[in-house]
Each structure stands twice: as structure tokens, then as C-alpha cells.
Amino acid sequence: MNKTDRVSPSKEYWERKLLAVTSSHSISNLGSIRWELCLCLLAAWVIVVIFVSRGIKSTGKVAYFTATFPYLMLTVLVVRGVTLRGASDGITFFVMPQWEKLLSPDIWFNAATQLFYSTNIGWGGMITMASYNERSHNCFRDAIVINFVSFCTSLYAGFAVFSIIGFMATESGLDVGDVIQSGPELAFIVYPRALALMPLAPMWSALFFFMLFLLGIGSQHRFTQRILSAV
């Protein structure tokens, strides 16, 4: 048996089953269309069309739900995560600074990129939402509150992620730094793999992916609203 090509079930599902990635794929050979993903994308756009079809009143209600309900599920994941064995190792890895990293330009570049993405600076989202306010509305206060909430949310989500990553590292007999990945791999490979090790794994996985679904629909909905407002 060849043990050099072993992959985790979550990685195998993500790369080979869902994305159908093979070694022959290149810029000139992108592979076939994944009709399952096309149907999911179509369903997402149908949901967004329903949300925006009744104007700003329905849009506001949807925004309240998609922006606040994920906090409830995030809280559930935090509470469950910090009670797991090895969670303290993950949290310590998260909160303990590595001062030498501050000298790396890549760290500051990634931090600035995250800031622009999390606050939608330059994307028109803030301007679109602000256009529905009264003229006397205190936008300066909103700017402070939004940035503060964004900072706290990132910190809060870090506890949800790293507590469970610490549990996964303990169960696997690895260091926390050895199981951390960035980008889509964290959400679709590493975190699901950690959830699979927990009791009642299907329930926690369903909560996690439902939270991602709401966040994705909320972002897609706000993006569509910008275009409609400009038109």
C-alpha cells in the first residue's frame, strides 16, 4: 500500500469529489462543468432575487437576519469549542503574539487586505447603505461603531476557529501550527475535519455550514443591492 498519497476525507471530498481537481488540470485544461455547483449557484441567485424583489424594506429585514443570526451560531461554536480537550492550546496559539512577524511586509499587506475586505472600503457597499439614512444621521459614529464591531467579530471568530483547531491538533497528536491553513482550505478542509472528530459531528457541521451559507447570501445580497441602487 502506498502511504505517500494519503489525504484526509475532507480534503478528498473538497478536491476530488466537489471540485474534481486532477493533476492534469491547467490553464488550458480547466476540466468539465460541475453541474452540482451550477445548481447551487442558481439557487443562491434565486434566493437573492426573492430578497431584493420587494425593495428596500425587505432588503433591510434580510440584512438584519443574515448579519445577526450568524453571531448566534458563532456563539454556539465558541461555547462548544472552548470546552473541548486541547482548546486552550489553540487559543494560546491565537492570542500569543509573535513579535518577529511584525517585521514582515507580508503581515501588514495581509492585514490591510483583510481590513478592506471586512469593511467593504472602496466597493460602494457603505455608500449604498448610507444613502438610505436621513441627512442628519451621525455617519461619523457609524464609522467608529462599524470598525469596532468588525474588529471584535474577527477576534470572536478567532476563538471559535482556534479552539476547535486546538482540539483537532490534540486528537491528531500534532502542533497547532502544523494543522493551520489559510484561504478556502481552512473553511472547507481543516475546520470540517476538526468538526468530524467531535461528538454529534453532523449537527456541528450543519450549524457551521449554515452559518457560512448565511454569510455568503448576505454578501451576495449586498453586492446585488449596490448594482440596483446605481441603476
Binding positions for Na(+) are 118, 215, 219
CB within 8 A of 172, min separation 6: which ones?
A: 179
Whose CA is closest to 205, among 24, 107, 171, 197?
197
Please state whether 173 falls in left (phi above 0), alpha (psi between -120 and 50) or beta: left
Residue 54 has phi, psi (to 5 degrees) of -105, 15
C-alpha 100 chain-centroid distance: 27
What is the per-residue DSSP string for 149-169? HHHHHHHHHHHHHHHHHHHHH
Contacts of 194 (CB under 8 A, 6+ apart): 164, 165, 167, 168
Rg (CA), the chain: 20
Find, among 216, 195, 175, 230, the residue nearest to 40 by Cα: 216
Give the number of other Cβ atoms within 10 Å of residue 221's Cβ. 19
Distance CA 152, CA 149 (A): 5
Residue numbers in the known binding site are: 118, 215, 219
| Backbone φ, ψ for residue 15 (5° rounding) | -85, -40
